Amino acid sequence: MDARPFRNRSEAGRLLAERLAEYAGRDDVIVLGLPRGGVPVAFEVANLLGAPLDILVVRKLGVPGDEELALGAVASGGTRVLNTQLAEQLELPAEWIEAIDARERRELDRRERAYRGSRPPPDVTARTVILVDDGLATGSTMLAAVYAVRADEPARVVVAVAVAPPEICGDLAHEADEAVCLLTPERMVAVGAWYEDFTPASDDDVRELLAHARRPPAAGGALAGVRPLRGEPADYDELVRRADQARFVLIGEASHGTEDFYRERAEITKRLIAEAGFTAVAVEADWPDAYRVNRYVRGASDDTSAEEALGDFRRFPTWMWRNTVVAEFVTLLRERNDALGPDQQQVGFYGLDLYSLHTSMEAVVSFLDETDPEASQRARERYACFDHFGRDPQMYAYETGLGGAEACERQAVDQLCELRARAAELASRDVDVDGEFYAEQNARLVVNAEEYYRAMFRGGIETWNLRDTHMAQTLDELVAHLERTSGPTKVVVWAHNSHLGDARATELGQAGELNLGQLVRERAGEDALLVGFTTYSGTVTAASDWGGRAERKRVRRALPGSWEELLHRGDTARFLIDPARLQGRRLERAIGVIYRPESERASHYFHVRIGDQFDAVIHIDETRALEPLETTSEWHAGELAGDAPETYPYGV
């Protein structure tokens, strides 16, 4: 055999195309080259097959000090393949692996922007995907590519490479539907050894080849399945009919500071309460703060107004719940409950989140002060462990996570166990069951918050998963309690899209994140309905940094290639759409309590399959900022000057 069988990558591509001739002229085929070296090969394959060409960016995770040795790889969309056996053999610390991962993801993002520009990722759903590279040494990059493409549910995945060891080609044949390897030398040496001309391909080479290639057909045209929202009573008739069959309706938001999202969500919830029998609203808020609101709407507190009942929401970001829309909604709940007869089930308002570490400890002690002073003293002694760290949970996180301080986990767990034993003992007695449940949930929150903060400085996705798991557990506990005390229960959940849209349909989910929407779907199946929101542009209430003041900021126009940009093309400014009609994967924007338009792509966008993420999507093309109950001159002034140019970040 000739030691250098390929003159160059172009020849390798033409020879591969001959082996792939059965895919020529087919409308369902797309060719994806792995930059950089795989793109010149893929260009020839795509050209000869008459198929569109695009790229799939993959980065090798090299072993420190021996970067040619592949520890694994990361790919577009968040996929990571890791050789755990090699990592254990080399005794690489987890933080080293995460650092290598972060470095390569930064380079992956840079290349995505450099090669793709404003074009969206290719839609490969139900298509035959041919993954092409100039050669493989370990196969980890191609394996990551196969996994990344599989996430978008193609009809068929074909691996096509010029040269690879026989065992690597065989392994890929098991992972893909087909593997074509022109050469499979027993002694690989290096990929470049099998080319006479193996000049490195540059970023410019990749861009030029893509510019000359046949493009995939662009998504466009009239959107199907659109129901315009005209501000009429019938706007949400179909959504309410669907929700009537569910036990859980999860309604999201694309930001924590958009008036339109909050108002439409409140309107839908009012109808679900009035027409579909929903009796609880559970929100992305801390348990004790929201429980004060719950007591108010049930007429069980001394608060005289919704604004007063929302008074415990003083932790950043206050505007999330202390805003005009929520105050109006809380007032409506109180009025509705006041009008019910004594045997009718009232609607409650509850929090699911876990940030209230110290407030929840105080709530436990306060409850026991009134019901069992001896138990209250034991609780004080246990929770005194946290006093050594002050009231800032992040100080506890730092000292126990990095500083070597002894954690308070045992004390928190002991207190929860005592309250649970107490609840079991008192179950048959005439006691305040709601009060006992409130105290027990606060104690459980302390346990989970302690674990959350202790994990904070370890980085990664652990804290996110702990938080959303806690919210799912709280929802389960709440439903079980309400069904024991009040009968059948249906719950509306309010939280951010990133918590309520099924994480399995996102690049974050592919990286290991889970969320509340995923957990509810897994447990409730068709009894769960997930509703998301999107917007193209407008204004938003957000801070520039954590703990900062509420500002009224301008929301930049959505990036090309995003779902928001696609929905903007419709003929209607406000509409409800069945996302099952929106196939493929695109960017989706998520603005939390911080909005940084200067780094919008990196800070606020991630890839999703919106058709799998939600059961219904409400698009409002231009939205307004949420008005806090306490506004400042800075908020009223808004972002009237000094905006980044609308052409950011492309400058065109």
pLDDT digits (tens, 9 = 90+) for 319-342: 999 999 999 999 999 999 999 998
Quick one: pLDDT at residue 431? 77
Residue among 262, 351, 346 nearest 313 (CA): 351
The Cα angle at residue 96 between residues 90 and 99, in degrees rounded to 5 = 145
Residues above pLDDT 70, as percent of the chain: 94
Which residues have a Cβ under 8 Å from the Cβ of 370 and sit 6 or more positions away?
A: none
At residue 185, the 3 state secondary structure works out as: coil
pLDDT in tens, 509-519: 888 899 999 99
Q: Which residue has the higher pLDDT, 92 or 459?
A: 92
pLDDT of residue 70: 66
Q: At residue 3, does pLDDT exceed 60?
A: no
Nearest to 4 by CA among 212, 162, 118, 227: 162
> Given this model, what pLDDT does residue 361 score?
97
Lowest-confidence segment of 27-41, 79-93, 236-250, 455-469 by average pLDDT = 79-93
Note the pLDDT of residue 650.
Answer: 27
Whether 641 has a pLDDT exceeding 80, the answer reads no
Residue 184 has pLDDT above 90, yes or no: yes
> What is the pLDDT averaged over residues 615-619?
97
Mean pLDDT of 217-241: 79
539 pLDDT exceeds 80?
yes
Model confidence band, residue 178 (pLDDT cutoffs 50, 70, 90): very high
Least confident of 68-72, 255-259, 311-315, 475-479: 68-72
pLDDT at 1 over 70: no
Better-predicted residue by pLDDT, 646 or 347? 347
Query: What number is the average pLDDT over the span 388-414?
Result: 90
Task: Name residue, tokens 């929770």.
Answer: 383
Residue 409 has pLDDT above 50, yes or no: yes
Cα distances (angstroms) measured from residue 137 to each of 97, 133, 376: 21, 11, 65
Give the mean pLDDT of the chain.
89
- The CATH label, of 3.40.50.300, 1.10.10.410, 3.40.50.2020, 3.40.120.10, for the domain at 9-212 is 3.40.50.2020
- Domain chopping of the chain, boundaries: 9-212, 237-276+494-640, 279-352, 354-466
Quote the tokens at residue 519.
């957990």
> What sign results for the dihedral spanned by CA atoms 612, 614, 616, 620?
negative
Q: The tokens 């799998």 sit on which residue?
A: 612
Of 508, 518, 509, 475, the C-alpha closest to 614 is 518
251 three-state secondary structure: strand
Q: Which two tokens stand for residue 435?
A: 């009060």
Tell me whether domains 9-212 and 279-352 share a fold.
Answer: no
pLDDT at 105: 82
At 402, the amino acid letter reads L
CB of 405 closer than 8 Å to CB of 465: no
Position 165 pLDDT exceeds 90? yes
Q: Which residues, 6+ apart, have CB-to-CB distance to 410 below 8 Å?
A: none
Which of the four pLDDT bands, split at 50, 70 and 90, describes residue 428?
A: low
Contact by Cβ (8 Å): 649, 110: no
Q: How many CB atoms lie within 10 A of CB 293?
A: 30
Residues 409-412: contacts with CB within 8 Å, 24+ apart? 409/447, 409/450, 409/451, 409/454, 411/382, 411/383, 411/385, 412/382, 412/383, 412/443, 412/446, 412/447, 412/450
Fold of 279-352: EreA/ChaN-like, small alpha-beta sandwich (3.30.1870)
Q: With beta carbons less than 8 A apart as the criterion, state whether 14 and 183 touch.
A: no
pTM (2 d.p.):
0.71
Q: b/e for 421-444, b at 16 or more Cβ within 10 A? A: ebeeeeeeeeeeebebbbbbbbbb
Q: Two tokens at 215?
A: 């493009």
Instruction: Give the rounded percent of residues in the chain with a pLDDT score beyond 90.
Output: 65
Give the integer Cα–Cα distance in Å for 620 and 643.
Answer: 22
The dihedral through the CA atoms of 79, 83, 88, 91 has a sign that is negative
DSSP 8-state assignment for residue 122: P
Burial class (CB in 10 A: 0-12, 13-18, 19+), 507: buried
Taking the alpha carbons of 301, 307, 311, 316 in that order, is the dihedral positive or negative?
Answer: positive
Tens of pLDDT, residue by residue over 107-129, are: 888 888 888 776 777 888 889 99
Which of 351, 353, 370 is CA-nearest to residue 310? 351
Report pLDDT for 47: 86
Of residues 71 and 379, which shows the higher confidence score? Answer: 379
- Over residues 523-535, the mean pLDDT reads 97
pLDDT exceeds 90 at position 48: no
Element holding 70 (H helix, E strand): strand 66-75
> Could you report the per-residue pLDDT of 574-596, keeping only the tens digit for each?
999 999 888 888 899 999 999 99
**Residue range 559-586: mean pLDDT, rounded:** 89
Q: What is the total residue count of the chain?
A: 652
What integer pLDDT is reported at residue 639 of this predicted model? 61
Q: Is the pLDDT of residue 221 over 50?
A: no
Q: Is the dihedral of CA 395, 499, 107, 98 positive or negative?
A: positive
HEC string for 371-435? HCHHHHHHHHHHHHHHHHHCCCHHHHHHHHHCCCCCCCHHHHHHHHHHHHHHHHHHCCCCCCHHH
pLDDT given for residue 23 in this prediction: 92
Residue range 463-507, pLDDT digits in tens = 999 999 999 999 999 999 999 999 999 999 999 999 999 999 998
At 93, phi and psi to the nearest 5? -65, 150
At residue 177, does pLDDT exceed 90?
yes
Instruction: Evaluate the omega torsion of the peptide bond into residue 649 and state whether it is cis, within 30 degrees of 0.
Output: yes
Task: Give the three-state DSSP class for 60.
Answer: strand
pLDDT at residue 139, as a whole number: 86
Please give the torsion angle defined by the CA atoms of residues 233, 234, 235 and 237, in that order, rounded to the nearest 10 degrees. 120
* pLDDT at 217 (0 to 100): 39
Whether 178 and 151 have beta carbons less than 8 Å apart is answered as no
What's the CATH architecture for 237-276+494-640? 3-Layer(aba) Sandwich (3.40)
